[in-house]
Amino acid sequence: MRQMRPARAVYTTARSVRATGRAIRATCASATRATSASTAPRSAVRWGRRGWLLRGRRTTRTTVECSNKGVCDYEEGACTCDEGFVGSACQRLEYPHACNGAGQCLSLKELSATYAVGSEPLYDNVWDAEMVYGCKCSKGYHDYDCSLRSCPRGDDPLTTGQKNEVQIVQCTATGRSFFFFFSGQGAQVPFDATLSQFQSILATIPNFPQVKVSFGGTANTVCSSATDNAILIEFIYDFGPYDPALVHAAFVWC
């Protein structure tokens, strides 16, 4: 009798979703042209990795081979992903053109952390937090893949009522200094720096925009010994929004 050889065709079966949102489970197997998948030699089949699949309003996430965005090689047990998808199970969106060397490829989880201020919630425990990736462009570049150069921006003379961005730093200390960081660059600030000295220190930070600095209280130095001295930094030329300035206060005496 002539022996049947396994074909390379891929057969996919799936169960439908009920109203309760029960998960879809799709399975693939090698098969012969004359027999069903259940009779294929088990040694000829290697399962590919599984990833999330969205389908239907009542279904939030289910696993399916190669995340339904690739083809499983059953001899190797590996996924060949469709264009635009990467990962062992094709479970991640591919970032475009490596951000053209002008940005960082970050997941939603990583990107949310760069914008979080204070106690705002992070996008870190959500199911797709490490599946969707995108480019965070360096200053001077924009577009989804950071391929375009940005032109300088100024105030629109046809608009009225808007206000400049103001960031406030507060300090109470009686000695030493603190570090002031802006856009990844920083400078050391003595606790008793005057207004003019603080402005000069800010000017030493690379690419620091033009600002107007003032003190909100009665103190004559950046730090007060009694109560927090409010340092108001107003951006008057290169308008925001900006990431908030950061202060490392480990080197001051309170």
Show which of 48, 65, 86 is a domain's final residue: 86
> In terms of pLDDT, which residue wins out, 131 or 252?
131
pLDDT band at 80 (very low <50, low <70, confident <90, very high): very high
180 and 221 belong to one structural domain: yes
Domain residues for the domain of 216 are 166-253
Mean per-residue pLDDT over the chain, rounded = 74
Residue 134 pLDDT more than 70? yes
Residue 2 pLDDT more than 90? no
Cα–Cα separations (whole angstroms), residue 38 to 44, 45, 232: 12, 11, 72
| Amino acid at position 162, single letter | Q
Mean pLDDT of 190-215: 89
Residue 242 pLDDT more than 60? yes
Mean pLDDT of 66-94: 88
Distance (Å, whole) CA 25 – CA 15: 6
Mean pLDDT of 84-109: 85
Contact status, residue 82 vs residue 112, Cβ threshold 8 Å? no
Residue 139 pLDDT more than 50? yes
Please count the structural domains in the chain.
Answer: 3
Residue 92: what pLDDT? 81
Determine, yes or no, domain membership for 55: yes
176 and 241 belong to one structural domain: yes
Residue 28 pLDDT more than 60? no
Residue 167: what pLDDT? 92
Show which of 119, 149, 179 is a domain's final residue: 149
Determine, yes or no, domain membership for 2: no
Residues whose CB is less than 8 angstroms from the CB of residue 6 and which lie 6 or more positions away in sequence, other chains included: 30, 31, 32, 40, 41, 44
Mean pLDDT of 118-125: 73
Determine, yes or no, domain membership for 232: yes
Q: In angstroms, how far is the first alpha carbon of the chain from the final one?
A: 92
170 and 239 belong to one structural domain: yes
